[in-house]
Amino acid sequence: MPASATSGALRPESFALQTVLETLSDRFGDRFSTSRAVREQHANTLTWIENQPPDGVVFPESTEEVAGIVRLCAAHGVPMVPFGIGSSFEGHVNAPLGGISISTARMNAVVAVHSEDLDVVVQPGVTRKQLNEALRDQGLFFPIDPGADASLGGMASTRASGTNAVRYGTMKDNVLALTVVLPSGEIMTTGGRAKKSSSGYDLTRLLVGAEGTLGVITELTLRLQGIPEAISAGVCPFPSVEAACDATIMTIQSGLPVARIELLDEVQVRAANAYSKLSLVETPTLFLEFHGTDASVKEQAERFGEIAEEFGGGPFDWATKAEDRNKLWQARHDSFWAALALRPGAKSVPTDVCVPISRLAECVAETKRDLARSGIVSPIVGHVGDGNFHCQPLVDMDDPADVATCKAFLARLVERAIAMGGTCSGEHGVGQAKMKYLEAEHGAAALAAMRAIKLALDPQNIMNPGKIVTV
């Protein structure tokens, strides 16, 4: 056993931990690691949140293997952290109390495609791009697309969404069934392949968004969509973020079934031009996509063009060629990296909030004024059809004043969203970073109910402890 596995001060559970590490090493051989590099890769890496590595990382290949790991950890009171690919932003995969990271990297099989039922069964380590590759030949796709090529288990756990959510919903709407290893090590199945059910408590929806605090997802059944007969995409510049938001509100209200409607503020457009070799006018811009038949995408695009014009936007350029569309959406998905390049050497702090759409223009505009006042470079991108937007302040971590300024901005961002009837996170989740806002958002009774549920299912508090709620 490498010394690093148990380095540092002796903890109360050090004997129990040692037993678990040795047992996992015996049982999993080279599918278990306690090396510092591997452990650090399996903790938070993408933002300024401290990296808190687990004591060991194990790579199971089946639900039964996960159940065995969980039973072992449960018997010794050792914490566990489910791990997908580590693309979450809010410290979800950190191990503040140490313990075992359970990686689903080797559970990456597409188990069954049911094309007649428009559903698919996957292991949790399958990524969204991998799934869509596997589906393409059958004319099907899975619409949820966070920026990263995240794992589907992780996406379910953070209740992820992305650019298509305005039309196809979030993970909440697209997970039909789960297999979950509970904190006791028992294997539970939830939901089923019927499109709807009124049979009992909705355990599927309870696990989706639970960030691995109630169990380890080991299999998912997901709803699929047929690839639309026709797709068109386009770009529309606006004189201000307010104008772009107002056009979005009107688009949604008038029932236009947009598949994507994404805001990039002028800072993000500049970043995208530089990083993704685009040549857009550097002004607030909407990226859009329409799905349907040839006739209906044409009709949708024309109607959107009229709405944009009403709010001073345009010209609305739209294209139906796949390569043009792909370039556009790749640029949108690369916005995290494009933004980082705006301030070389800086760390970025990507975060998101979501407000009722009627407050979106006001919330984005106030946030931009706040950024300007605070002297922070932060592009804004938004899934504006849902009232959801992202800030990505770029921070010099070696400058305490810069860090303090950014922290204060982030607190105001969340408080502003909550004050407008919104939520501290539209799609990134709570992790470690946003636990402090849950009471303000949900109230004491709801937080107490979350704690009661956590304790009912995880009485030892060993399943991803220190995330969402403290118990």
Which CB atom, from 7 or from 198, has the smaller least distance to its own copies? 198
Site stretch for its own copies (CB under 8 A), options 24-32, 226-234, 277-285, 402-410: 226-234
Residues between 98 and 127 that touch its own copies (CB under 8 A): 114-119
Q: Is 365 in the site for its own copies (CB under 8 A)?
A: no
Q: Which stretch binds its own copies (CB under 8 A): 48-56, 200-208, 332-340, 343-351?
A: 200-208
Rounded to the nearest whole angstrom, what is the least distance from the CB of residue 427 to its own copies in the complex?
Answer: 5
CB of 54 to its own copies, least distance (A): 23
Q: Which is nearer to its own copies, 395 or 469 (CB)?
A: 469
d(CA 425, CA 386): 12
Distance CA 393, CA 351 (A): 9
Residue 382 CB, nearest approach to its own copies (Å): 12
Closer of 133 and 229 to its own copies (Cβ)? 229
User: What is the dihedral sign for C-alpha 263, 85, 347, 441?
Assistant: positive
Site mask for its own copies (CB under 8 A), range 310-349, x = bound: ----------------------------------------
Q: Is 196 in the site for its own copies (CB under 8 A)?
A: yes
Site for its own copies in 398-457 (CB under 8 A): 417, 421-430, 434, 437-438, 441-443, 445-450, 452-457
Cis amide leading into 53 (omega within 30): no
Burial call 239-271: b when 16+ CB within 10 Å, e when fewer:
ebbbbbbbbbbbbbeeebebbbbbbbbbbbbbb
**Nearest to 333, CA basis, from 291, 368, 289:** 289
- Minimum CB–partner distance for residue 226 and its own copies (Å): 4
3-state class (DSSP) for residue 59:
coil
**Binding-residue total with its own copies (CB under 8 A):** 93
Residue 76 contacts residue 19 (beta carbons within 8 Å): yes
- CA–CA–CA angle 216, 217, 219 (5° rounding): 145
Residue 354, beta-bridge partner list: 388, 423
The distance of closest approach from Cβ of residue 343 to its own copies in the complex, given in angstroms and rounded to an integer, is 27
Using CB under 8 A as the binding rule, whether residue 197 contacts its own copies is answered as yes
Judged by CB under 8 A, which of 199, 279, 373, 400 binds its own copies? 199
Task: Tell me if 161 sits within 8 A of 170, measured CB to CB.
Answer: yes
With both helix axes pointing from N to C terminus, report the angle between 241-253 and 360-374 in degrees, rounded to the nearest 10: 160
| CB nearer its own copies, residue 10 or residue 456 | 456
From the list 52-60, 281-289, 317-325, 350-358, the region that binds its own copies by CB under 8 A is 350-358
Q: Shortest approach of its own copies to residue 466 CB, angstroms?
A: 14
Alpha-carbon distance values, 94 to 64, 86, 99 (Å):
24, 10, 10
- Interacting residue with its own copies among 102, 126, 165, 433 (CB under 8 A): 165
Q: Are strands 216-223 and 317-319 parallel, antiparallel or unpaired?
A: unpaired
Shortest reach from residue 139's CB to its own copies, in Å = 9
Take residue 407 and report the two structure tokens written for it: 């922290």
Closer CB to its own copies, residue 37 or residue 448? 448
Contact map string, positions 15 to 54, toward its own copies, x by CB under 8 A: ----------------------------------------
| Residue 7 buriedness (CB in 10 A; 0-12 / 13-18 / 19+) | exposed
| Alpha-carbon gap, residue 306 to 36, rounded angstroms | 57
Decide if residue 202 touches its own copies (CB under 8 A).
yes
Amino acid identity at 352 = D
Rule CB under 8 A: say whether 230 interacts with its own copies.
Answer: no
Residues 257-316, interacting with its own copies (CB under 8 A): 257, 292-293, 295-296, 299
The 3-state secondary structure of 110-152 reads EEEEECCCCEEEECCCCEHHHHHHHHHCCCEECCCCCCCCCEH
CB of 38 to its own copies, least distance (A): 28
